[in-house]
Chains A and B, each alone.
Chain A
């Protein structure tokens, strides 16, 4: 994949804007709805906390790469790496289908009860990310390398790290939205049955 920096960043910003809009609406929902779990599946808040744990790593990593970047001979065209492209594509949601994936233990959010502040932290991370994405417009996104959270054995091209990270956010925001929708359907179904009996 080859693309102008600005085009890549604009695309990622659009995706993040839509994620922000979705999560903003969560703020007005009752807490028990946000915490609702169907079996082992994550609640809406758990999806967001999972993203916050990733953000703790990626926001710091991306910022570090921007700050320490030598700004000379900058190409503003980004060419994806083989491995980076593979990881990013793995994360991207295609045709609205979320493929199941196992998440690393340290990124598992189901340890502590989550509160409304999880949303607030998520939105603050998003603000930070938007600033960082805009700073990335004038950086060589192919030559600059950044670590990934899965392993410290490899580094990806910064452009691929950005794609991987943003697609990952999109994936779990969609998952959170679905968790809430499914719950709505279950409640409607229960109401329908109760009416039937009455």
Chain B
């Protein structure tokens, strides 16, 4: 196991001990815009998306499926109102790990602190990948990049949300896939 996996296992054991697990039905929100994020979520089963609402559209920025850890990160860190929604895309079983519990585990030992750092570093690297995605002009290349890191995307997530994530219309996405 990598140190990130060790850390996540430690988190889940703690969450199990406290027994905070919840089932969200399709369309339910884990968090809404304006609320302060108090938790991180481990997706045991199902799929969720993180999105931002603008005047003109809903912009999907991230997905979570079985085995993912997800949260409205900026709100979780700063304690300010979330600018994002997290929505269950189908019936999803979610383990909820509250900030307090997370911090207790992080501060247990230098080892857990190191593991937590690894987890955050991983997140930063993912964000940089995403930044390159958004700077990639060709829609086909954007799709290739995403499929390279998430080969099962189309099995997990409805097409219209993938299109939103890739900043293209569902029509364009269908065309690229079929060509």
Chain A residues near B (Cβ < 8 Å)? 27, 55-56, 59, 113, 115-117, 120-121, 124-125, 127-128
Closest 5 CB pairs of A and B: A124-B55, A120-B53, A125-B55, A117-B53, A128-B55
CB proximity of A32 to chain B, nearest CB, Å: 12
Selected contact of B53 from candidates A59, A113, A121, CB within 8 Å: A121
A residues in contact with B85, CB < 8 Å: 117
Additional 9 contacts, C-beta under 8 A, given A59-B56, A117-B58, A120-B33:
A27-B34, A55-B55, A113-B27, A117-B53, A121-B53, A121-B58, A124-B53, A125-B55, A127-B55
In the complex, A128→B53 CA distance in Å?
13
Complex interface: chain B residues within 8 A of A128 (CB): 55
Tell me the interface secondary structure of chain B in the complex: loop
A30 CB, nearest partner CB in chain B, Å: 13
> Which positions in B face A, CB cutoff 8 Å?
27, 29, 32-34, 53-56, 58, 85
Q: B55 and A116: CB pair below 8 A?
A: no
User: Which residues of A are found within 8 Å of B53, using beta-carbon distances?
Assistant: 117, 120-121, 124
Q: Is the CB of A124 within 8 A of B58?
A: no
Residues of chain A within 8 A of B58, CB atoms compared:
117, 121
Known: A115-B27, A117-B85. A56 touches B33 (CB 8 A): no
Report how far A115 CA is from B85 CA in the complex, Å. Answer: 12
Q: Are B32 and A121 in contact (CB under 8 A)?
A: no
* Contact between chains at B27 and A59 (CB < 8 Å): no
Q: What residues of chain B lie closer than 8 Å to A115, measured between beta carbons?
A: 27
Instruction: List 18 contacting pairs A-B, 8 Å CB cutoff, sorted by A.
Output: A27-B34, A56-B56, A59-B55, A59-B56, A113-B27, A115-B27, A116-B29, A116-B32, A117-B53, A117-B58, A120-B33, A120-B53, A121-B53, A121-B55, A121-B56, A124-B53, A124-B54, A124-B55
Most interface-central of A120, A121, A125, A128 (chain B CB within 10 A):
A120
Chain B residues with CB under 8 A of A127? 55
CB distance from B22 to the nearest CB of A (A): 18
Closest residue of A by beta carbon distance from B57: A121
Q: Tell me, rounded to whole Å, the shortest Cβ–Cβ distance linking B149 to chain A.
A: 27
**Nearest CB on B from A7, distance (A):** 27
Measured between beta carbons, the chain B residues less than 8 angstroms from A117 are: 53, 58, 85
Residue of B nearest to A27 (CB): B34
Name the residue among B29, B53, B55, B85 with the largest chain A CB count within 10 angstroms: B55
CA distance A113 to B54 in the complex (A): 19
Residues in A whose Cβ lies below 8 Å from that of B56: 56, 59, 121
| B59 nearest CB across to chain A (Å) | 11
- Of A27, A56, A116, which is in contact with the most chain B CB atoms at under 10 Å from its CB? A116
B87 to chain A minimum Cβ distance, whole angstroms, is 8
A53 to B85, CA, bound (A): 21
CA distance A133 to B33 in the complex (A): 26
